[in-house]
């Protein structure tokens, strides 16, 4: 289960991060991993090794900005979306919803529901 989950995750990690930041405004890395874990009741766990490259890529692409704040004597990096990041979040979520609908249609075609019930 774990390897197939991480395989699926790679394709949607940007969408997950963008969606969370669009909802919450500003978050730091650990907060993002915890939000994913809580929402999925532990079924999806993001590793920092998977999360941080995505955050850096989104920053390079101009979709998020960072701000470092000192917390308990250590610097904590907070991430928030740019206006373009917010637009991209909406688009990616919409694209993913369409993809899920298409997958449901493929996996559970209406005709399969009536099999054996004629």
Residue 7: predicted pLDDT: 77
| Three-class SS state of 12 | helix
Domain count, the chain: 1
The CB-side HSE value for 103 (13 A sphere, CA atoms) comes to 6
List the domain range (segments joined by +) for residue 20: 2-107
Residue 75 lies in a domain: yes
- 80 CB-contact burial (10 Å; exposed 0-12 / middle 13-18 / buried 19+): middle
Residue 113 lies in a domain: no
- Give the tens place of pLDDT for each residue, 93-103: 999 999 999 99
Contact 51, 64 (CB under 8 A): no
Taking residues 76-99, what's their average pLDDT?
A: 96
* pLDDT-based confidence at residue 118 (cuts at 50, 70, 90): very low
Give the CATH number, domain containing residue 62. Answer: 1.10.10.10
- 116 has a pLDDT exceeding 60: no
Taking residues 9-20, what's their average pLDDT?
A: 91
Residue 116 lies in a domain: no
pTM attached to this predicted model: 0.82
Residue 112 lies in a domain: no
């Amino acid at each position: 289960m774990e390897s197939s989950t991480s395989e699926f995750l790679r394709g949607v990690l940007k969408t997950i991060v963008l969606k969370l930041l669009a909802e919450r405004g500003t978050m730091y890395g650990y907060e993002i991993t915890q939000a994913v874990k809580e929402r999925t009741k532990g079924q999806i766990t993001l590793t920092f090794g998977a999360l941080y490259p995505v955050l850096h890529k989104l920053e390079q692409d101009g979709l998020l900005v960072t701000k470092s704040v000192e917390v308990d004597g250590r610097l904590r990096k907070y991430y928030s979306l740019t206006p373009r990041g917010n637009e991209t979040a909406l688009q990616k979520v919409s694209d993913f919803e369409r993809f899920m609908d298409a997958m449901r249609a493929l996996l559970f075609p209406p005709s399969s529901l009536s099999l054996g019930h004629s």
